[in-house]
Amino acid sequence: METNTVADARKYRLRWKTLVVLALSLMLIGLDNTILNVAIPTLQTEFSASASQLQWMVDSYILVFAGLLLAMGGLGDRFGRAKLLRIGLVIFGISALGASFATSSGQIVAARALMGVGGAMIMPSTLSIIIDIFKGAERARAISIWTATAGVGIGLGPLLGGLLIEYLSWNWVFLVNLPIVGVALLAGWWLVPESKDPDPKPIDFLGAGLSTAAVAALIISIIEAPSLGWGSPLVVGGFGATVVLAAAFAWREMTAEYPLLDFSVFRNHRFSLGAGAISIASFGLMGLIFGFTQYLQFVKDYSALEAGVRLLPLAAGIAIGARGGERLNRRFGTRAVVSAAMLLLALTFGSVNFVFLVDAEYWVIGVAVLLISTAMGSIMAPSTNAVMGAVPENKAGVGSAMNDVTRQVGGAFGIAIIGSVLNSIYSSRIAPTVESLSTLPAQASEASIDSVGAALRTAASLPEVQAVLLASEARDAFADAFGLAVLIGAGMALLGAVLVMRFMPSLEAEETDATADMADVGERVGVIAD
């Protein structure tokens, strides 16, 4: 008992230093979600990669990562979250090193998939350890920093990738992970305390397998839908398999003696609405990044590095929103803060059609992106706190994994749906112009209708008058399509604002739930004082 008391006192005393290590570990996940995007053109040239191979370089990571999250959260609860974090960092570092020495597209895809295994161990471990070492108002503050770190990583990825491609080589897009992994491992050995479920139950391997298969089927269907078509047999079959597997997982968890996930937690409105809000924010964030990076490079004609610099307001806004949302949450409660932030997100998404124009000044665009990302940060931090507050602490790993699954699946849907709508609108807008160029070869014509990048490359080979016409119309068509596509995110945010305002518990209910946490903090302080 005395040993446990000393360990608890040390854990409490070092909690903010521990948070730095956890934030650094999480930075890997945010960076890796976006850093590869700016290297795609270089990798295409380096390996003569097909469009499908390029897509899977990005998506193999997402597929494995999202599919394994829930299972890894359960393993952390049983065997130790700090242990799983360290294993995840090692796997992530080794696979990143392997990717840097790849000599084929297939090797890149395989290495990225292995990085997804490491990421699935890292992300839920960081949040569940935060839940163990922080209580009450400090926990909300720590979660806001955790959320801000994830957002900063996502925003810095394109900038860092652009710098590495510009001044070094594509290999460094992967090698840059190694020093971060090394520091996190060394510092974590001394600063990250071990925690686990004090009363571990047998692992539900069947439930873990069904959850992994269900998420994998869903992600594959989302990934393939834009290229194959939403009505293709593979996509429809994939969504059908998702429904069957998800139903089997739900049945398993409701009948198993020791379920991986207690489905009764979804009856808690703080959990279900918090998870839904995170999904909507992630949907909008990843859909925005998908379109915005193309807008900057194709419509505004910025280089990869210049585009990365202009994505910095995205990282800044998420960080500002996460910290500000946590402070407002303490005063006004989750319901008021999240619903207001979702309303702001809906309004700012709705403005994209009027702001992201071909001849728009960047400062106007930057302000809009800052407001959008601030709204996202203000949604994610209080919503994450609501989700984790609804889960028993001994199941923090599974709760953290559920929180992360909602982020990944929401983001995948954002890329697929907003991207698909964007491409469809662009194609319909540019088709008349392309068809009017009767001398254009059929292959170049099809490519120009399919992609704004292809249209601009085709324009460069045409006589001056035709080149100016095609390039101008392509940029206008893409800007219009981007503005209209993100209206989907605006509609979802508006619906989310209404649901949160209607069903999320009030501030008074939250304060009642927090009483036990505050008492626990008092006990910790007493232990240290003694």
- Beta carbons within 8 Å of 296's beta carbon, 6+ residues apart: 302, 306, 307, 310, 311
Q: What is the mean pLDDT of the chain?
A: 79
Amino acid of residue 229? G
What pLDDT, in 10s, does the model give residues 31-86? 877 777 777 767 767 777 665 566 677 777 877 887 777 778 777 777 788 888 89
- Beta carbons within 8 Å of 27's beta carbon, 6+ residues apart: 149, 152, 153, 180
Do 411 and 285 touch, CB atoms closer than 8 A? Answer: yes
Which CATH architecture does the domain made up of 1-199 adopt?
Answer: Up-down Bundle (1.20)
Most confident of 156-170, 388-402, 489-503: 489-503
Which CATH architecture does the domain made up of 265-426+485-507 adopt?
Answer: Up-down Bundle (1.20)
Nearest to 111 by CA among 99, 101, 103: 99
Q: How many helices (H) and strands (E) does the chain have?
A: 22, 0
pLDDT at residue 1 in the model: 43
What pLDDT, in 10s, does the model give residues 221-239? 877 776 677 788 888 898 8
Mean pLDDT on 227-255? 85
- 9 HSE (CA, 13 A, CB side): 12
Question: How far is Cα 214 from Cα 236, in angstroms, rounded to an integer?
Answer: 14
Mean pLDDT on 241-248? 90
Mean pLDDT on 313-336? 82
pLDDT at residue 87 in the model: 92
Mean pLDDT on 111-128? 86
Percent of the chain at pLDDT above 70? 86
**Positive or negative CA dihedral for 249, 254, 259, 265?**
positive
pLDDT at residue 89 in the model: 92
More confident residue, 200 or 423: 423
Question: How far is Cα 307 from Cα 294, in angstroms, rounded to an integer?
Answer: 9
What pLDDT, in 10s, does the model give residues 390-401? 776 666 656 667
**In this model, does residue 520 exceed pLDDT 70?**
no
**In this model, does residue 517 exceed pLDDT 60?**
no
- Cα 81 to chain centroid distance, Å, stands at 21
DSSP 204: -
pLDDT at residue 161 in the model: 82
pLDDT at residue 523 in the model: 45
